[in-house]
Amino acid sequence: MITVSPEAAAQIKISAEQGKAEGLALRLAIHQKDDKSFHYVMGFDENSMDGDMTIDSNGVKLVIDSESQKLAAGLKLDYVDLEGKMEFVFLNPNDPSYRAPTED
């Protein structure tokens, strides 16, 4: 299961509106590099490809290609304050560099 936090969903909707991409799905792709680290790419997309998986989470439609699906299982997309700057973060237990968040 892949989820989008309410904070990320709100920012995705703002970005879609600003980019005149309202109604388009957010495509998420994950590439595993030679050193086994994950590289995440996302952008609005109107196209559909064979093997795509579509997920609705918190009012956001995500599309994930077949190659990325196994790497994305259990992923949570969040939008958080990192040292004074708001950024999207990928909380993915499949990612070798993943560290579970700690409660403050």
Domain span at 86: 3-91
Q: Contact 29/101 with Cβ under 8 angstroms?
A: no
Q: What is the Cα–Cα distance from 86 to 20, expressed in whole angstroms?
A: 21
CATH code, domain with 81: 2.60.300.12
Output the pLDDT for position 93: 93
- Does a structural domain hold residue 18? yes
Please report whether residue 97 resides in a domain: no
What is d(CA 7, CA 17) in angstroms, rounded to the nearest whole number?
16
Domain count of the fold of the chain: 1
pTM for the whole thing?
0.87
pLDDT digits (tens, 9 = 90+) for 89-102: 999 999 988 887 77
Mean pLDDT of the chain: 92
- Residues 79 and 8 sit within 8 Å (Cβ to Cβ): yes
Residue 32 lies in a domain: yes
The pLDDT tens digits for 41-77 are 999 999 989 999 999 999 999 999 999 999 999 999 9
